[in-house]
Structure 1
Amino acid sequence: MSGFVRYSPETETFDPELPDHLKRIIAFWENKVRESPQQEGTGRAVRGAHAKTIGIVRAEVEISGNAPQPYAQGIYTQAGRHDALIRFSSASNHLGPDALLGPVLGFAIKLFDVPGTKLVDEEPDSTTFDLVLKNNPAFIANTAAHYLFIQDIGDRVGDYLAHGKEGFRELLTDFLTGNGTLEQKDWAWEELFAFVKAATQTPVRNPLLSTYWTMAAVRHGDYVAKVRVAAAAENAGHARHRELDLTSGPDVFGPVLAEELREHAFAFDLQVQLCTDLAAMPVNDVTVEWPEKLSPFVTVGRVRLPRQDIAGNAEQGDALAFNQWRVTAAHRPLGEIMDVRRVYTASANVRRALNHQPQREPTSVDEVLSGPSSRP
């Protein structure tokens, strides 16, 4: 298996000014969360990113334990089962109707009873393990410097679009030029292409029939990988809804998810793609989708969503916080953008403090969701 790239610290590169960028990014997110009770109109602090919850779902993650050796790394080495919670969300920074927020969705899964020290500084002894995924194989910022102005522009998308075609052109111009701050040689072409692709080519689909990716790379024991969950083939036979019309009501994704889970169980294949070529499958350029022809995704487990009634779960799970760094060292996030995303802990702490919620990880699904576990 010599064709797989082995992990080493040299696979990552970082801007020397990253610490200064991180301070500004943390301030941006903390300020956004503090302003959210008024700006979002709920009187409560909401998440800075992925603000709208579509549904919080009980799940079980089964690690098969029989994957080929290069894929059987870290927590995927031995067969086992873990209780889990999944938060389906809109990827937008705002609340509002689904038609306005768009088709890009998040799938954040929290596994329970996973041993080992975690890389979140505040809670190294937590027994949870997070996978934070999106229904898009690439991210829209390659560097911390670009990330900050892209998040600022993304936060104001509604203001741009309120001015029609002229506003859309202004949005694209500001995105490309960093609000006019970048020299032409540093214009954000790769990020702009990734943004437009995500906005225009993400299908409006039943959340239970979609695929969700880490987007950026992670360590996979001895190797370098990306991870995804792909809707199991049998889901299509259960689902009543396939392609969705977001103009049919203010909330479309959430009601569809709730209806489907009341009637059937669903599943996702948990899969790993190993890097074989750092030029074609880069760690530091996260706007690049890794070609499956160079390295296919291989299934290492299954995520099972039992039949259940998720009514009320969103409120009970509002204090949950998901972080790419709540993993063991064998699954460490890689690259500058993943380092940036470490700061989400700071905004989660502000949100939970403003909402008078616990500032700690739960230890079980039942600690989060009261009542019977599944079948109505």
Structure 2
Amino acid sequence: MRGLKGALAGVAALGAGVLMMNHDLSAEMTETAETSDHFYAGSFHNSQKKQQPGLKKTLGILGRYLTEKRVDIAPSGALPVMPLSREQLDALSDDEVHVVKLGHSSVLLKVQGAYWLLDPVFSERASPFSFLGPKRFHPTPISIEALPPIERVLISHNHYDHLDKAAVKKLAAKTTEFLVPLGVDASLKKWGVSEEKIRTFDWWQEHQHGETLVVFTPTQHFSGRSLTDGNQTLWGSWVIHTPDTRLYFSGDSGYFDGFQAIGKKYGPFDLTLMETGAYDKDWASVHMTPEESAQAHLDLQGKVMMPIHNGTFDLAFHAWYEPLERVSEAARIRGIALSTPVFGQPVTAKQIPETGAWWR
């Protein structure tokens, strides 16, 4: 359990006397996980070993949360959101890749006419509870009910701000296939997704579907949804290659040499969707600063960078807008083409228009 979101979720679960994962589900997760070289001594591990923070550090983070003065943790007014309709989506061309930020790390893609969702979180809170935990700053631009049929849902890892149980249950009937890290399939099956719709991935595992290649690639992070299931499921990022467009979706990660390896093998990328937010000195190994996110984009051989993982939930001690300000300056210094569309604004991956500083 690392970081403010992990600490708060853990204490909430402890206070309620709740263990979200039962023994049968944990056993099924472990059985799937044991097929991986990254799973040993009872859990998954990063390629670069990092010291596991104990209870003392977790309590220290909670102490900071309770006592540290925090400034601008949420917007003072309504954020700009462009409402999105099925008609708008269907009007987008079928021979390109279109990208729509829905909030936080949730992204809708139109890939050669088919609709994909990346880490879809539609719930009001990124939390195991409806009454407690980080609450979203803005509505989603479109509801699940209004979405067209979804060909693929891609999940990076099982934290509450990336894997939304309520959303998965609603998407189960209208989605053809769920692509998930090892172990996450157990949760999806429990939530009503049929087994034949689920495809599991280990790091560097490729799947070719027609002319589209999807690869699950490493990150430096962790997993867990309760006090009992730490690192029982894998975490990672996604590479998407179509005949004319290359995308990278970061999930969550600390900065590490894996970005260079991914860039060397699968780059250059037309667009990188890069985690930029929820960083802090107390969990620096598993989340990047904005400057590190910019460097990771360069390591990946990215052409245009789109910052994600910001602007929707309060998950760290920094101001809500700070990640976007810092990454904008880092991009200016490094000569990176940065794209910051408002939530709900469709953009074409290879023809991204100039975007403004909407957070100001």
> What TM-score comes out, normalization by structure 1 length?
0.24
Name the structure with the higher helix share. 1
Larger Rg: 1
Q: Which has the higher contact order (CA 8 A, sep 6+)?
A: 1
